[in-house]
Structure 1
């Protein structure tokens, strides 16, 4: 296909005057990496300039490039041809939405008014010892906390207990992350736990009984140290996870309507309401508010996107998306108008500031944001 024809088809697509035959030709062209590159150049050159009647500013260029990078990243996966088709369609939808947004910049001023102090979360937590005393932890800390015969080492965003001791009495500690915080802990048996924002982990300072039992409220990723004679158990509200040695993620926030347990490696038994199921890697147990649960086949890496530094939303309702964002940026959210039916999908770094994140959402959906103090109001 000649370059001029490609540009003409793209223009027709954006103006909603493309025929089914022309749409098919455009989709086929976008399976060619050369045309994907041309699409990028066309956005920067003709389409954005057309909306602004001149050269677009660098901020808009960076914003569009960021969205393109997020969409194009997965191309090198197992089914490249099929995935390229999906990516091409996603980018076309993105370009159309971006162009429509650029045509009416005056109607979207809210993202420019965001408060500067709504920054992404950091390593911070509160450690509550068995006697009730509290220790504040942050990313700059470097200390040894003494609790009887137990030594607890903090270095930056990680807490580590001494190796399993011979203590006979059981003492419980609690590690809690606030909104806008996350932390990692190595338990006395060598199990590693990553706590997401607004989460709490209760655990003994030594595992002395026949089982290793901890309690979680919120979200955490576990890499459990193997010990077949002492099974590891995680209590989650009305459910329980039992493992022998494995990696899994638990999402059990009090303000979420479901509990999700996703297995990455090994094997776990998920139990709730006298029902038990064995999970295999790539399976997710979902427990609903009516106490029923079912098993989904998933990409397990999606469940730990937060641990790896990014948000991942897949056709997710705006209320669910904003609950996740609110925990990480420590903001409150309210809604005006008929916006709760909106659904979002995409991947965004957890380390962007809130202003850039909400600008990205404004580009992909018909939403506006207003900030008053630490409250984000979402409007159509």
Structure 2
């Protein structure tokens, strides 16, 4: 904690040096800190990648001074210049983002009360049989007449085995606490997030390719102009030819979404005409089927396939819903809790306690982890 606080102070000086200039005393402090270690110099150089204008936009409606005061209680501030505001915003973002670098420099935190991630990834065949893909005793291949499914490490790969027109369906079920990768018979790649399920033909036939999704998945669709690819969910439909996009049906924020990374897609809800997306856009569908399209940073929607959480001014209640799914825990809010917001990037391969510690650094909450249950209360 003390190390992180010192880094934030140095970060503010580094940002100030970039924007205007530092005085002699500030230069001496910064130079002394840089001479202390190679790690400090690497952290200093990381500030070169901060987009100041973008940060200012992120924090335009955030009480940056209050958030930073969590680290500097009792310190009076007499200036409110834009230089200070940018440096404070950068420091806060680094708590959740570049502090990950510091987390990687330390030994992993061992949490005795945290159970290992659960098994349970299963494949339901067309005849109703169920194969547990999480154990080392599953078959290496599954013969299904029209295709062969090769089961490799955390990946299920389908390859057509004949030209049969018989359509058989499989369902891949990914429980809480893990994720899985699927390669369909046409070469389309699908990344399934925790607590998700997808149903698909063993081999695609005819001029359509359709799958059904519950939960969240990222698709890298193999292009085929003669056979559009369609993702069906309860509240939205996404139709493409060949593209990369994310579909999330969890509705943690009251809507489901489709985020387009590459190519073009048509998105339709339960009502109204389909809407066409271009890369960088997200379609959000509410409970009555109304679609709203926004241009936004896609990292918050796709970072999970790189095993990261990415939050941009996200309500803590939404963040903790993701925590429940990924770490397979239950969250209980103590009386008196009020909503808080957080911005930052956190690796998902860290122990849960590490993630909770990072959140505690920037927002006035306290977590207690006991037997797969996270209790949350306000500090003070």
TM-score (norm 2): 0.74
- Counterpart selection for 2:298 from 285, 300, 303: 300
Q: Is the 8 A contact 1:317 1:343 kept in 2?
A: yes
| 1:76 corresponds to 2:49 | yes
Could you tell me which residue of structure 1 aligns to residue 16 of structure 2? 28
Q: Is the 8 A contact 1:198 1:327 kept in 2?
A: yes
Q: Is the 8 A contact 2:68 2:362 kept in 1?
A: no
Q: Secondary structure at the match of 1:189?
A: coil
Q: CA deviation at 1:299?
A: 2.1
Could you tell me which residue of structure 2 aligns to residue 237 of structure 1? 234
Structure 2 gap segments, 5+ residues each:
1-5, 75-108
Over residues 77-103 of structure 1, what are the superposed CA-to-partner deviations in whole Å (9 max), with x where a residue is unaligned? Answer: 6xx4535878999998776423449xx
Over residues 226-245 of structure 1, what are the superposed CA-to-partner deviations in whole Å (9 max), with x where a residue is unaligned? Answer: 11111100002122100000
| 1:336 corresponds to 2:325 | no
Could you tell me which residue of structure 1 aligns to residue 258 of structure 2? 261
Could you tell me which residue of structure 1 aligns to residue 366 of structure 2? 368
Q: Following superposition of structure 1 onto structure 2, how do residues 57-96 of structure 1 map, counting pairs within 5 Å?
A: 75-76=48-49, 80=51, 82=53, 96=69
Cα distance in 2 between the residues matched to 1:160 and 1:378 = 41
Could you tell me which residue of structure 1 aligns to residue 71 of structure 2? 98
Over residues 333-364 of structure 1, what are the superposed CA-to-partner deviations in whole Å (9 max), with x where a residue is unaligned? Answer: 11013334111111100011011111111111
Could you tell me which residue of structure 2 aligns to residue 136 of structure 1? 132
Q: CA deviation at 1:117?
A: 2.4
| 1:187 corresponds to 2:175 | no
C-alpha spacing 1:363/1:185, structure 2 compared with 1 (3 Å): same
Q: Secondary structure at the match of 1:315?
A: strand
Q: Secondary structure at the match of 1:345?
A: strand
Q: Is the 8 A contact 2:113 2:371 kept in 1?
A: no
Identify which range, 28-37 or 209-218, moves more after superposition: 28-37
Q: Is the 8 A contact 1:185 1:192 kept in 2?
A: yes
C-alpha spacing 1:341/1:225, structure 2 compared with 1 (3 Å): same
Q: Secondary structure at the match of 1:130?
A: coil
Over residues 35-75 of structure 1, what are the superposed CA-to-partner deviations in whole Å (9 max), with x where a residue is unaligned? Answer: 799569779x9xxxxxxxxxxxxxxxx9xx9xx96x98574
Cα distance in 1 between the residues matched to 2:197 and 2:143 = 21
Q: Secondary structure at the match of 1:194?
A: strand
Cα distance in 2 between the residues matched to 1:26 and 1:328 = 36
Cα distance in 2 between the residues matched to 1:40 and 1:237 = 58
Cα distance in 2 between the residues matched to 1:299 and 1:123 = 33
Cα distance in 1 between the residues matched to 2:339 and 2:149 = 47
Tell me how many residue pairs correspond in the alignment: 326
Q: Is the 8 A contact 1:31 1:85 kept in 2?
A: no
